[in-house]
Amino acid sequence: MNRDKTKTHKDLEIWQKGIDFVTSVYKITKNFPKEERYGLIAQMRRAAISYPSNIAEGAAKNSTSEYIRYIYISLGSLSELETQFTIANNLGYVNNINSFLSPIEELRRKTHNFLRYLKEKRVNKKEQTNRPTV
pLDDT of residue 123: 77
pTM metric for this prediction: 0.86
For residue 107, which of 69, 65, 79, 67 has the smallest C-alpha distance? Answer: 79
For residue 107, which of 7, 12, 11, 29 has the smallest C-alpha distance? Answer: 12
Distance, in Å, from the CA atom of 27 to the CA atom of 31, rounded to the nearest integer, reads 7
Terminal CA-CA length for the chain: 36
Query: What is the chain's pLDDT, residue by residue, as a tens digit (134 residues)?
Result: 444 566 899 999 999 999 999 999 999 999 999 999 999 999 999 999 999 999 999 999 989 999 999 999 999 999 999 999 999 999 999 999 999 999 999 999 999 999 999 999 877 766 555 555 55
Domain annotation for the chain: domains and CATH numbers: 9-129 (1.20.1440.60)
